[in-house]
Chain A
Amino acid sequence: MLDVYIWFYTGVALTILGSLGTAIGPGVKDPIVRTLNTEVAAVGVSLIFLTYNHTIALLTYIAATAIITMILLRAIVRLEEVGAEL
């Protein structure tokens, strides 16, 4: 039973740390650093899903996170090419 709690609370800590890092972490003026910080929170959520045995949700979430990161990076690169203030 101890294992389950270890996974769950590691997930909780990673999620909160990751979201704090995305909000006020070092170097978040750069949007790429901010996007990469969301990945920490995403790993935390994956661990929480793992604790609850949400297999399909976990698989879909991993795919969705990859696609969301691609969309965000594409938006950042395109906005920088246009010369918008970031």
Chain B
Amino acid sequence: MSASLIIPTLVSPVVVSLFVPAIFTGLIVGLIGLMAIAYQKNDLSALILTDIVGIGMLILVAAVGTDLAEALILPGLVVELAEILAISEILMSREMKKKGKSAELIPLPLSMDMEVMTTAPTFLAIILIAYGAFLSGFTGGAVAGGGILVYVLSKRMRGVPADTWEGIAGVSGIAWCLWLVGFLLFFVFPQYWLLALFLAAFGIFIKVAFKAGLIGVIGREEFSKK
């Protein structure tokens, strides 16, 4: 069977020659992780080992070696991150219910009450959001979201009104629709590709930025509860 029938000629021969070893590496790593999870009695160890299984998945996707692989790795990373965050929260709350004790939300050996946290955050947030808007797309959204997060976490004492955050959640939904419309335009009216590109890029930018900002909302509510 000739491979050139299924592999387009624009894929470089290096990528083609690395395909089989990469697939096997991914399978071996995934198998090691899953076997180790099967033999674990400890929940926390199983959580750490899911990281290894995720690594195996990433290698399998990366083996494709084209732009498609890169586009698939990014959501894979986000899903892995969200999964580990959610499972760790469940583990902690379950143990706390069992023992009837509670621990600090963010256990830090030193106090974070620093001068920088009261004077600089506005400036830092503006720079991060402006740079994120310039980058646009997924990466820009992450940068701008980091800016919003810095602002919320450092100004948490003053408190941001709850209505503002609900409004932001609504805007996040509208941005998601923008992204979908942009994506649809690519296929329905290919001649307007520039408009579609900008709709998709800035839709996902606003979406990701406000998603990261929402982490700050959860944190702020936890802080004000105490």
By a beta-carbon cutoff of 8 Å, the part of chain A in contact with chain B is 1, 4, 8-9, 12, 15-16, 18-20, 22-24, 28, 31, 34-35, 38, 41-42, 45, 48-49, 51-52, 54-57, 59-61, 63-64, 67-68, 71-72, 74-79, 81-86
User: Is the C-beta of B107 less than 8 angstroms from some C-beta in chain A?
Assistant: yes
The answer to whether A31 and B44 have CB atoms under 8 Å apart is yes
- For A77, the chain B residues whose CB sits under 8 A away are 103, 107
The answer to whether B48 and A34 have CB atoms under 8 Å apart is yes
By a beta-carbon cutoff of 8 Å, the part of chain B in contact with chain A is 14-15, 18, 21-22, 25, 28-29, 32-33, 35-36, 42, 44-45, 47-49, 51-52, 55-56, 58-59, 62, 65, 69-70, 73-74, 77-78, 80-81, 84-85, 88, 91-92, 95-96, 98-99, 101-104, 106-107, 138-139, 142
* With A15-B25, A19-B33, A19-B52 as contacts: A83 and B99 at CB distance below 8 Å: yes
The answer to whether A81 and B52 have CB atoms under 8 Å apart is no
- For A51, the chain B residues whose CB sits under 8 A away are 18
The answer to whether B33 and A81 have CB atoms under 8 Å apart is no
Which of A16, A68, A79, A84 is B29 in contact with, Cβ under 8 Å? A16
- In the complex the two chains form, what is the Cα distance from A61 to B22 in whole Å? 18
Q: Which residue of A lies closest to B81 (CB)?
A: A64
Q: Supply 8 further A-B pairs (C-beta < 8 A) apart from A48-B59, A71-B81.
A: A23-B32, A45-B59, A52-B62, A57-B73, A64-B80, A72-B48, A76-B44, A82-B95
